[in-house]
């Protein structure tokens, strides 16, 4: 699927219906991690590359997209979702700018930490992360500037 932008998001009893800009395409998102990530993408008018389950309109995965093009050290520059094959659930991926201006990718499984990371990304603030391997197991949002 080529990159696209979300025109509007409609909620219903089973999840979200995503209306794709300049298209009659409608996609469905029922997974909470995918929904939260799509809301973030909508908030920043991001160009998206979405994967759907074969033969359906159900969003499987949100590929990495820019949420903060001018991200500084410890800020989230990009977001994505990933499928945890062991658990069969979605998880959040955050791409955090490092001191050398490169990005490092971390996974976020816990819902409360996902919310904190999404908030930091949209607020464009640095995160203090506690990690176990490449997984976020704790995070601290700084006070507002």
What is the DSSP code string of 85-142?
A: TTTTEEEEEEEEE-TTS-EEEEEE-SHHHHHHHHHHHHHT---EEEEETTEEEEEEPP
Residue 105 in any domain: the answer is yes
The reply to whether 14 and 72 lie within a common domain is no
* Domain of residue 10, residue span: 6-59
Residue 145 in any domain: the answer is no
The reply to whether 53 and 12 lie within a common domain is yes
The reply to whether 70 and 133 lie within a common domain is yes
The reply to whether 52 and 81 lie within a common domain is no
What's the total number of domains in the chain?
A: 2
Residue 1 in any domain: the answer is no
The reply to whether 90 and 41 lie within a common domain is no
Per-position pLDDT tens, the chain of length 145: 578 999 999 998 889 999 999 999 999 999 999 999 999 999 999 999 999 999 999 999 999 999 999 999 999 999 999 999 888 899 999 999 999 999 999 999 999 999 999 999 999 999 999 999 999 999 999 887 7
């Amino acid at each position: 699927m080529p990159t696209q932008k979300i025109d509007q998001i409609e909620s219903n009893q089973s999840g979200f219906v995503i209306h794709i800009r300049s298209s009659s395409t409608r996609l469905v998102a029922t997974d909470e991690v995918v929904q939260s990530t799509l809301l973030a993408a909508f908030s920043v008018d991001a160009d998206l590359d979405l994967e759907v389950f074969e033969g359906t309109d159900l969003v499987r995965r949100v590929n990495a997209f820019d949420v903060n093009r001018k991200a500084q050290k410890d800020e989230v520059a990009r977001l994505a979702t990933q499928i945890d094959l062991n658990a069969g659930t979605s998880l959040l991926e955050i791409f955090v700018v490092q001191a050398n201006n490169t990005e490092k990718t971390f996974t976020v499984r816990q819902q409360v930490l996902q919310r904190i990371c999404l908030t930091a990304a949209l607020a464009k603030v640095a995160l203090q992360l506690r990690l176990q391997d490449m997984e976020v197991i704790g995070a601290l949002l700084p006070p507002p500037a």
